């Protein structure tokens, strides 16, 4: 191989399978290159993630990654980097949204420091009145909320504007219609969609891996595997409440600076609960997640 036959390129990892990384160039008209790693990078190839911007030596359509460029952001569930927008998707019905599971996904989104929105899909199954009621509850909590339906294209133009010029990740539990929603927003993707199981009220995992898909030269989206459970191992008990937007006005006003808003006296958050300013369902979700976070944190010191 002559030196003149090799060129250095800069691209983004759009797929990773078994130590092979598929890299799309950031500029130019080169096709996606199948890349490997070698030398010093080979010792850390598990740290190369979908979304990473990399330098790679290219010969024809084959390449070797030589450097991973600094990351602007990282999402840990699923692992993907350099994300501009996180779209958390739940369904109005089929499956019915679980408040505790919603809290988990929104906590992961809030702790990622990546801008995010909440989407309630399958609006056609419940009607506008019921859909607006649920959406407004979460808007009052402090979330940016949209309602969509792939049956009547509800929300299509609004979300297309949100995605334009960004790298966006769609995440949420299985069965809520993420792939169908992406097909509505970006018809050229032709993603496989599934049918909800009538026996277990849970969707099939039609998406098996994280893969970035190009919508146009400036816009990419990622469909991700559906999750029935996501862990909160990275959180400390004292920071959990700050990830609930509707709790933030009460933080820092408790008697004790170390208050975790459970059994402590003179807790401003619990006073808000007693006065009807905090939704009891949200507080119960908080206590449920707090128990898990405390147990996870305790395991680190056993």
Answer whether residue 204 shows pLDDT above 60.
Answer: no
Lowest mean pLDDT among 92-96, 182-186, 268-272: 182-186
Answer whether residue 58 shows pLDDT above 80.
Answer: yes
Answer whether residue 231 shows pLDDT above 80.
Answer: no
* Crossing angle (nearest 10°) for helices 99-111 and 280-299: 60
How many other C-beta atoms can be found within 10 angstroms of the C-beta atom of residue 170? 23
The mean per-residue pLDDT over the stretch 52-73 comes to 89
Q: What are the sequence ranges of the domains in the chain?
A: 3-68, 74-223, 237-299
Q: For the domain with range 3-68, which CATH number is right: 1.20.1250.20, 2.40.50.140, 3.40.1160.10, 3.20.20.70?
A: 2.40.50.140
pLDDT at residue number 215: 84
- Using CA of residue 210, residue 211, residue 213, residue 219, what is the dihedral sign? positive
> Residue 67: CA atoms inside 13 Å, Cβ hemisphere, count?
6
Q: Does domain 237-299 have CATH number 3.40.50.2300?
A: no
pLDDT at residue number 196: 43
Cβ contacts of residue 47 below 8 Å, gap of 6+? Answer: 68
Taking the C-alpha atoms of residue 94 and residue 88, their distance in angstroms, rounded to an integer, is 16
Q: What is the mean pLDDT of the chain?
A: 86
Cβ contacts of residue 14 below 8 Å, gap of 6+? Answer: 22, 23, 24, 32, 50, 211, 212, 213, 214, 220
Answer whether residue 227 shows pLDDT above 60.
Answer: no
3-68 and 237-299 in the same fold: no
DSSP code, position 40: G
Residue with tokens 């602007």: 72
Q: Please, which pLDDT band fits residue 54 given cuts at 50, 70 and 90? A: very high
Answer whether residue 273 shows pLDDT above 60.
Answer: yes
**Residues 163 and 170 sit within 8 Å (Cβ to Cβ):** no
Answer whether residue 191 shows pLDDT above 90.
Answer: no
**pLDDT, tens digit, 9 for 90 and up, residues 239-257:** 999 999 999 999 999 999 9
Q: Please, which pLDDT band fits residue 208 given cuts at 50, 70 and 90? A: low
Taking the C-alpha atoms of residue 91 and residue 144, their distance in angstroms, rounded to an integer, is 16
Q: Does domain 74-223 have CATH number 3.40.50.300?
A: yes
**Residues 168 and 82 sit within 8 Å (Cβ to Cβ):** no
Answer whether the bond into residue 95 is a cis peptide, omega within 30°.
yes
DSSP code, position 228: S
Q: Can you name the residues that pair with 75 across neighbouring β-strands?
A: 80
pLDDT at residue number 5: 61
Residue with tokens 């092979």: 20
**Residues 260 and 290 sit within 8 Å (Cβ to Cβ):** yes
Q: Please, which pLDDT band fits residue 206 given cuts at 50, 70 and 90? A: very low
């Amino acid at each position: 191989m002559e030196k003149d036959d090799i060129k250095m390129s800069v691209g983004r990892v759009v797929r990773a399978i078994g130590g092979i990384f598929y890299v799309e160039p950031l500029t130019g008209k080169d096709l996606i290159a199948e890349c490997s790693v070698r030398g010093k990078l080979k010792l850390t190839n598990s740290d190369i993630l979908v979304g990473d911007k990399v330098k790679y030596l290219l010969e024809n359509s084959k390449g070797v990654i030589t450097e991973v460029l600094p990351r602007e952001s990282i999402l840990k569930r699923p692992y993907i980097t350099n994300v501009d927008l996180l779209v958390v998707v739940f369904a109005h019905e089929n499956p019915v949204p679980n408040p505790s599971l919603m809290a988990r996904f929104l906590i992961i989104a809030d702790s990622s420091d990546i801008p995010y929105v909440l989407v309630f899909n399958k609006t056609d199954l419940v009607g506008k009145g019921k859909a607006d009621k649920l959406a407004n509850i979460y808007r009052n909590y402090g979330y940016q909320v949209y309602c969509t339906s792939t049956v009547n294209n509800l929300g299509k133009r609004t979300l297309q504007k949100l995605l334009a010029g960004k790298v966006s990740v769609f995440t949420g539990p299985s069965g809520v219609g993420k792939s169908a929603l992406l097909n509505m927003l970006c018809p050229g993707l032709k993603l496989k969609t599934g049918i909800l199981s009538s026996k277990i009220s849970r969707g099939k995992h039609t998406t098996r891996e994280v893969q970035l898909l190009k919508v146009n030269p400036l816009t990419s989206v990622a469909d991700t595997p559906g999750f029935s459970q996501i862990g909160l191992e990275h959180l400390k008990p004292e920071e959990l409440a700050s990830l609930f937007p509707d709790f933030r006005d009460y933080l820092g006003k408790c008697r004790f600076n170390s208050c975790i808003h459970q059994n402590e006296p003179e807790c401003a958050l619990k006073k808000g609960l007693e006065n009807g300013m905090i939704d009891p369902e949200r507080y119960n979700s908080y206590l449920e997640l707090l128990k898990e976070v405390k147990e996870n944190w305790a395991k680190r010191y056993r």
